[in-house]
Amino acid sequence: MTPPLLRTIPEQFETKRLLLRVPQAGDGAIVYEAVVESLASLRRFPASLPWVMTEPSVDTSEAYCRLAASSFIVRKDLPFLLLDKATGALVGCASFHRIDWSVPSMEIGYWCRDSRCGQGYITEAVSAMVRLAFDKLKAERIQILTDEENIASCRVCERAGFTLEGTLRHERKAPDGTLRNTRVYACTT
């Protein structure tokens, strides 16, 4: 097995409408703008996205971008900004998380800014990430965990070819104390 640090993983790649690239220093302002625009929507599923419960700032967004870039370098997480190729605007973010290089298996997480929701961008990005994972990273399993009530996210999973493996009942607790169910979607080789 090639050690993770020695794996060649593209820092950017394209789909029909998107440029997916690793965050870098200086990207904090565009991430902050998208988060602020989408904060109310993102906060609907705080058990899935705990970071949205903190107050956003340009500095915290910049810190995220720099930490994300370092995570990519050490192959801990593989985060990507989703940029509209026509305008350069940030559409959202998607990442490979919880990577187990010994299998290899990984989880995909994502979010979309409000003004770009419902236009197929996340399905396009997730589908491209699946191809990257199977073709370049030699993944054997990719999974997506989503709040059972996040119907848009469940539809992304289904359109991107994932199979619902099950529902984890009362798997997460929201900040208000309510218990949340998590759907596990996966695709394998």
- Say how many residues make up the chain: 189
State pLDDT tens for residues 58-94.
999 999 999 999 999 999 999 999 999 999 999 999 9
pLDDT at 29: 98
CATH superfamily entry for domain 10-139? Gcn5-related N-acetyltransferase (GNAT) (3.40.630.30)
Per the CB < 8 A criterion, the answer to whether 4 and 104 are in contact is: no
Residue 1 predicted with pLDDT over 80: no
State pLDDT tens for residues 106-134.
999 999 999 999 999 999 999 999 999 99
Q: Which candidate, 38, 63, 61, places its Cα nearest to that of 122?
A: 38
User: Which residues, at least 6 apart from 10, have a Cβ–Cβ distance to it below 8 Å?
Assistant: 132, 136
pLDDT at 51: 83
In angstroms, the CA 24 to CA 174 distance is 31
Where do the domains of the chain lie?
10-139
Token duo for residue 140: 């054997």
Stated pTM of the model: 0.94
List beta partners, residue 185. 144, 164
Q: What is the mean pLDDT of the chain?
A: 95
Higher pLDDT, 84 or 49: 84
Confidence of residue 49 (pLDDT cuts 50, 70, 90): confident
Q: Are strands 141-147 and 78-84 parallel, antiparallel or unpaired?
A: unpaired
Average pLDDT of the residues in 31-54: 88
User: Which residues, at least 6 apart from 96, have a Cβ–Cβ distance to it below 8 Å?
Assistant: 77, 78, 79, 106, 107, 108, 129, 133, 137
